[in-house]
Amino acid sequence: MTPSLLLDILTFALPSGFLSSVATWLVSRRKRNNDLLAHMQQSIDLLCEKYNTVLQENVALRQEKASWQVLHEELRLKIDRLTKEVATLRKNINRNTKAYESIHSDKASRDTTLVDPADNGRMRRHETGHKKFDTATNDTSTSRSK
Domain boundaries, the chain: 22-127
pTM > 0.85: no
28-51 average pLDDT score: 90
pLDDT of residue 41: 93
- Whether residue 70 is predicted with pLDDT greater than 90 in this model: the reply is yes
**For residue 111, what pLDDT is reported?**
56
Q: What is the pLDDT of residue 66?
A: 97
Task: Summarize pLDDT for 78-115 with one digit per residue, the tens.
Answer: 999 999 999 999 999 999 999 888 887 876 666 555 44
Residue 46: pLDDT above 60?
Answer: yes
Q: Following DSSP, what letter does each residue of the chain receive, concatenated?
A: --HHHHHHHHHHHHHHTHHHHHHHHHHHHHHHHHHHHHHHHHHHHHHHHHHHHHHHHHHHHHHHHHHHHHHHHHHHHHHHHHHHHHHHHHHHHHHHHHHHHHHHHHHHHHS-EEE-GGGTT-EEESSS--EEEETTTTEEEEPPP-
